A and B are shown apart, each in its own frame.
Chain A
Amino acid sequence: MAFAQEHTASKATRTNYSFGFTAASEYEFVAKFAFTFYKKYISSQDAISCTFEPSCSVFGLHAIQNFGVMRGSLATFDRLTRCHGWNQGYYRQEPVTGLNYDPIEHYHAH
Chain B
Amino acid sequence: MIQSSTTMRTSILLYFLAATFWSTDVLAQAAPIKNDISFGQYLILTGQYELAVLEFERLYFLNPETEGIQHALIETHRTNGNYKRALTYAHTFSLQPSLNKQEAAYFKKEIILNALLLKDLVWIPSALAEIRIAYENEPEMLVYADNMSLGMSILNAKSKNETYHIHLPGIENQHDATLVQALNDWHQQARKSPFVAGAMSTILPGSGKVYAGKWKDGLVSLLFVGANAYSSYRGFRSVGVRSPYGWLFGGLAFGFYAGGIYGAQKAAKIYNHELETKIKADVYSRLLLYR
Contact = CB atoms under 8 A, between A and B. Distances in A.
A71 to B, nearest CB: 7
B216 A73 contact: no
B258 interface: yes
Contact of B259 (A81, A86, A90, A109): A81
A74 B256 contact: no
Contacts, number: 55
Interface of A, helix, strand, loop or mixed by DSSP: helix
Contacts of A86: 216, 220
Contacts of A71: 262
B40 interface: no
B84 to A, nearest CB: 26
Interface residues of B, number: 17
B125 interface: no
Nearest to A110: B269
Nearest to A109: B273
B214 interface: yes
Interface of B, helix, strand, loop or mixed by DSSP: helix
Contacts of A77: 255-256, 258-260, 262-263
Nearest to B266: A110
A84 B219 CA distance: 11
Choose among A74, A78, A80, A107 the residue with the greatest number of B CB atoms under 10 Å from its CB. A78
A87 B270 CA distance: 15
A36 interface: no
A81 B269 contact: no
B224 A80 contact: yes
Nearest to A107: B266
A109 to B, nearest CB: 8
Contact of B216 (A76, A87, A109): A87
30 contacts: A71-B262, A74-B258, A74-B262, A74-B263, A75-B259, A75-B262, A77-B258, A77-B259, A78-B259, A78-B260, A78-B266, A80-B256, A81-B217, A81-B221, A81-B256, A81-B259, A81-B260, A81-B263, A82-B217, A84-B216, A84-B217, A84-B220, A86-B216, A86-B220, A87-B216, A90-B214, A90-B217, A110-B266, A110-B269, A110-B273
